[in-house]
Chain A
Amino acid sequence: MTHTVPRYEFRIFGLDEIDSIIDILKKHGVKGKVRNISEIYLMTAGNKENNIKIRNKRLDIKSLVRQENGLEQWNPQEVGVFPLEKYIIKNDIFPALGVEAPALDREVYTLKQFMQELILVDPDIIVALTEKERYAFDFEDCICEYANVKINGAFQKTLAIESENPEAVWNAIKRLQIDKNMENVNYPKALKRVLGLEIDYDINRFF
């Protein structure tokens, strides 16, 4: 596994209600790369601390290091590129998912074998396919982005602010006029809400 310096992160998800924030970023940020990215997220109800995704056959696990003053620090770890050996699947991936590893009959798994034989047949694991259009910006000494995201085909917008310096993140939040009551929602949390894997307090308004 390789390691990089964990950044503090603040992220929001929404629809048209976050357009005014995106507009400020577009107006005042320094435009960077535009990327279209397809990813497979592996989700379980119990896992809250690991963000497990596959992009271009590369499986990464981001682990939550700490939550501090409303910001989150995640540590990215590159687990490997498919085909992956079974000891990695057993010792790294399934423990991160928080579910028991099944019997692994193969020494090495291609991505297709991994998905078909281990993931899609496991009732405790839900797959979220995401299609992201990501627009990167430098803004107030932070790495920022807004993105249009399709989650299993359903659409949301997201905006994120990242830096190794938490003060810089808070300054950018202020400059983007993000309401102090807006919740910091990481990708796994947003996906779990769409998939219905997290208790949905919004449902209370039906009572």
Chain B
Amino acid sequence: MAKEELEIGAISKPRFEFRSFGQDFEEASYLMSRLSVPVPQKVWERESEEIYILSKTNDKNNTKIRDGKMDIKTFVTEVDGLEQWNPLMKGEFPISAEVLKNEVYPAFMVETPAFDKAEYTLEEFLGMIDNNPDLQAVRVRKERYGFMVNDTICEVADVLINGAHLVSINSESTEIEDIKKTMKNLKVEDVENINYLQAIKRVIGWINKPLAN
């Protein structure tokens, strides 16, 4: 079967991903920029502000809010240390109590609160998060620089987690072998795969493990 041609920013079948976080990925970033084929100008540099909702009770679902829209991804599988995540739900604020009850809170895997309104604004929703000791809203600002190496979508990103700076690199593709080749080319074969949830939990002190460097 022919490989699916990846287009940055487009919807494809679920991709596998290598990602890591630390302070110093200068060599990998340099190699990524030199090995990359030209990419569309719209992905050269992208900035976004997001809110991640972290749950103490699970690492399986990844919830983030950007531009008033909520997006939950769920962990599917891990193959050769690479992770595959699938979209679980997408919603928009104001969001209905029905969706919160049947989709969002089950993804958090915490007790569902009583809902006394038909729908909730983002501010009201974040108030509910603040009232639950097992949940936490975390501010994440990203400056992402896109590349394409070995037919994998790559990026280097400056990430602020609650205002503190990290560097992230990643390579993602539907094809595992292409990611592994890219990791080798970028000399990050021995670097730990750390996804956003893990990185944020380590920074906010919920997981006592170091980042990649």
Contacts and interface: CB of A to CB of B under 8 A. Distances in A.
Interface of A: 13, 15, 43, 120, 123, 126-129, 150-156, 193-196, 199-200, 202-203, 205-207
Nearest to A203: B139
Contacts of A193: 162-163
A151 B203 contact: yes
Interface string B48-62: 010100000000000
B201 to A, nearest CB: 10
B166 A153 contact: yes
A153 B137 CA distance: 19
Nearest to B56: A123
Contacts of A127: 205, 208
Nearest to B65: A206
How many of chain B's residues touch chain A, expressed as a range? Answer: 20 to 34
Nearest to A157: B165
B204 A153 contact: no
Nearest to B213: A153
Nearest 4 Cβ contacts at the A-B interface: A154-B164, A153-B211, A126-B205, A155-B165
A126 B204 contact: yes
The main secondary structure of chain B at its interface with chain A is: mixed
B49 A206 contact: yes
The main secondary structure of chain A at its interface with chain B is: mixed
Contacts of A129: 208
A154 B206 CA distance: 14
Interface in B150-209: 160-166, 202-206, 208
Contacts of B26: none
Nearest to A150: B23
B210 interface: yes
B113 to A, nearest CB: 19
Contacts of A120: 208
Contacts of A194: 161-164, 203-204
11 contacts: A151-B164, A151-B203, A152-B204, A152-B205, A154-B203, A193-B162, A200-B139, A202-B163, A203-B51, A203-B137, A207-B121
A120 B122 CA distance: 33
A195 B163 CA distance: 10
Nearest to A154: B164
Nearest to A198: B162
